Chains A and B, each alone.
Chain A
Amino acid sequence: MHDPTHDLMDDGARLAAADRSARVRHADRAARFVADAGQTDWHDAVLWRIRGKRDAAAGRVEGWERLRALASEIKEHTLSRLDEYLAAFEEAATANGAQVHWAADADAHNRIVRDLLRARGVRRVVKSKSMLTEECGLNPYLEARGFKVVDTDLGERIVQLREEPPSHLVAPAIHVRKEEIAALFHEKLGTPADADDPRLLAAAMREDLRARFLAADAAITGVNFAVASTGALVLVTNEGNADLGAHLAPAHIACMGIEKLIPKPEHLGVFLRLLARSATGQPLSVYTSYFRRPAPGRELHVVLVDNGRSRRLAQPDFRAALKCIRCGACLNTCPVYRRSGGHSYGATPSGPIGAILAPGMDMKRYASLPFASSLCGSCSDVCPVKIDIHAQLHRWRQVAAREGYVSWPKRWGMRVAGWIVRSPRRYRLAGRLVRGWLRHAPRRLRYGPWNAWGRQRELPRAPDRSFGEWYAAERGKK
């Protein structure tokens, strides 16, 4: 049957897709964020505090660095035999009474979920804890087809009501200030106009969501770990919405990337010790939920999503990114992320991990992300599974240049620089010219509009003699 709202909504989806295909210019977006100094102060301070809590929590675990190494090795091993573990998981999960679905890409994932919902006459869906569905654009897809989708985690719900993507892996609304939330809830939930007490706001949201939970016909959740040997799913949350949704609704659809597998239940001991401590500094999240089999009369579906993951698995330079357990520690520690905000990346996830994942999905759109880093390396040192994030950023830069996504003046400039420094004579001449220019050119010229360095910084004072010239004069026997 033809649904007239369908085509109308598809226009919206097409527009959104067009926006998604535009190039993300991180520097421009970041400059807009930084221009609000107050917001930058606050964003930086909030995230740095989380980094501090993480440091304290990690410091209380004896052998933290060994634990990281172990987690990394378990993930490396799992990835090296992912095909076997996936097959084992499917077998075990099916034996438990779950139904396993395979999705090659985001589109297939969305279609599978849609078909599951349609076949069960579902109209209202509650969702919790899934960055994968963000990656796949599930919400707009389902909404365009008439489903009512409600994100139930507080932060996720806030960004859903604001009609924007999450800005942080585990704190999706970290960029939103209390006053803005008060105004939003006043408009959407009818809280008093001047009420900005967090407890009151959270209570109002809980009230609103309870009714939605009770009315839902299906619950969609993400997955933190899937255990290959037992077919069990593990979810960690702080609000308990995944449990509420999954236990109330007749059908639970769990969506996961194929890299979420771990071989055995005992490996959870390694990852659960790392995950919450890295994410928020908690020893453990408030809820650690195990889903193994559907309750009598209920359904449990697991959608296994590839969406570029097996392609990445075949790239030795970039496969380690698949070890990611989505803790967000690299975002909290990143000095650039803290000062540019999650939306400056135009990708989910954002931050350093996003900057090495996104170019593999769409280089044209995300070519600027590997350059949105000073390569300080804090991300790699904080990562609980030891992903070499900063080294991957460096390698993505090489790919971006090779594929023509680095501007020609820059590529040309680098080639010229390479040609100059190949020859000591050319190098010395260039040095003398630059120093002479710095010393004698009028300030107006030195600080022209082309000089991005000099917009807010002085250029170095050039000495009369280079070190090489000094050495020749003072030690010049040779």
Chain B
Amino acid sequence: MKVGLFAPCYIDQFYPQAAVATLELLERLGCDVAYPRGQTCCGQPMANAGCAAAAEAAHRHIAACFEEFDYVVGPSGSCVLHLREYVEGAPSARYYELCQFLVEVLQVERLDAAFPCRVGLHASCHGLRGLRLARASERQEPPFDYVACLLDMVDGVERVPLDRPDECCGFGGMFAVEEEAVSVRMGADRLADHLRQNVEVITGTDMSCLMHLEGLIRRRNLPLRVVHVAEILNGSGEARNA
């Protein structure tokens, strides 16, 4: 199975460890993974700003980068959702968020990793309500949760329930700066929920949400840290030591 690794631009530039973990994890699970070096950005920031036309070239470029692969897998629900909506042409899905790929395609049942920690799972909205990685709390259907399911395969992870299991953190791309006051307040409220449950590490599928939360954590010196879920599932050394 030929898998193209999609490393969203901000992960490539600011959080390379999440992409390294994704690559290593997929390889350990037997995938033939390659990283097309020419890839850049999925174009979501432009489209969300109302300038979808400015993103068209990015869409074409990404599509060309990943033409040859059976699957394209990336550690970001939000960027993958954007690619599915703007780039994916075929009726069968080829672009996958990492956890979705592990559950739906690889049908992983066990993982060789340990992470002894109280972990709060941040359900990023685009993965949750766009890719349906879990049952959103609004919906009246049997509960399921891909990411939680995978985390539970990791030794020592103590997954902590939250008061509001899937409220938005307030990142929202440009929203974070254009609506700075509300964005910060949303993030602070999310952190308060995790702190009430004595969470040590907040994890999730989207480093963008975690970057926003981390920004608040560091400014306020809160006893929390953020780790991308790929690092936990991979048992990356960085995840334990960060």
Contact = CB atoms under 8 A, between A and B. Distances in A.
Contacts of B20: 467, 470
A294 interface: no
A444 interface: no
Contact of A336 (B39, B47, B125, B179): B179
B12 A431 contact: yes
A460 B173 CA distance: 14
A458 B184 CA distance: 12
What does DSSP make chain A's interface, helix, strand, loop or mixed?
helix
Interface stretch (B101-109, B154-162, B214-222): B214-222
A459 B181 CA distance: 16
A302 interface: no
Interface string A411-425: 100110111111110
A30 B125 contact: no
A27 B181 contact: yes
A471 B140 contact: no
B73 to A, nearest CB: 14
A273 to B, nearest CB: 13
B171 A374 contact: yes
A398 interface: yes
A371 B168 contact: no
Given A470-B16, A471-B37, A27 B215 contact: no
B218 to A, nearest CB: 4
Nearest to B38: A424
Contacts of A402: 50
B167 A335 contact: yes
A455 B39 CA distance: 32
A372 B13 contact: no
A339 B186 contact: yes
B48 interface: yes
A73 B67 CA distance: 38
B215 A418 contact: no
Interface in A15-68: 26-27, 30-31, 34-35, 40, 44, 48, 55, 58-59, 61, 64-65
A462 B186 CA distance: 25
Given A374-B175, A434-B13, A470-B20, A418 B43 contact: yes
A386 to B, nearest CB: 11
B137 A35 contact: no
Given A375-B172, A421-B9, A460-B211, A55 B137 contact: yes
Given A339-B182, A374-B168, A378-B138, A418 B54 contact: yes
Interface in B132-160: 136-141
Interface string B1-34: 0000001011111111101100100000000001
B215 A373 contact: no
Given A374-B171, A417-B46, A26 B179 contact: yes
Interface in A433-475: 434-435, 452-453, 455-463, 465-468, 470-472, 475
B43 A421 contact: yes
Nearest to B140: A64
A191 B232 CA distance: 61
Interface string A375-406: 11110111000000000001001111110001
A374 B14 contact: no
B181 A468 contact: no
B120 interface: no
Interface residues of B, number: 75
Contact of B49 (A59, A397, A461, A462): A397
Given A335-B170, A424-B38, A457 B16 contact: no
B54 A414 contact: yes
A358 to B, nearest CB: 16
Contacts of B45: 414, 417
Given A415-B54, A455-B180, A457-B184, A435 B48 contact: no
Nearest to B210: A460
A147 interface: no
Contacts of B19: 467
Interface string A353-383: 0000000000000000011111111101110
Contacts of B189: 44, 339
A427 interface: yes
Contact of B11 (A381, A435, A467, A472): A467
Contacts of B93: none
Contact of A411 (B17, B48, B51, B186): B51
Interface string B94-135: 000000000000000000000000000000011011100000
Contact of B50 (A27, A44, A333, A400): A400
A236 to B, nearest CB: 22
A410 interface: yes
B55 interface: yes
Given A415-B51, A417-B45, A468-B12, 13 more contacts: A30-B181, A377-B129, A378-B125, A378-B129, A378-B168, A381-B139, A382-B138, A397-B49, A422-B57, A427-B9, A435-B14, A455-B180, A470-B16
8 closest A-B pairs by CB: A374-B172, A457-B215, A401-B50, A418-B54, A397-B50, A376-B168, A467-B16, A31-B181
14 contacts: A30-B181, A34-B185, A55-B138, A373-B172, A377-B128, A377-B129, A381-B129, A410-B49, A417-B54, A421-B41, A422-B61, A453-B215, A457-B187, A458-B218
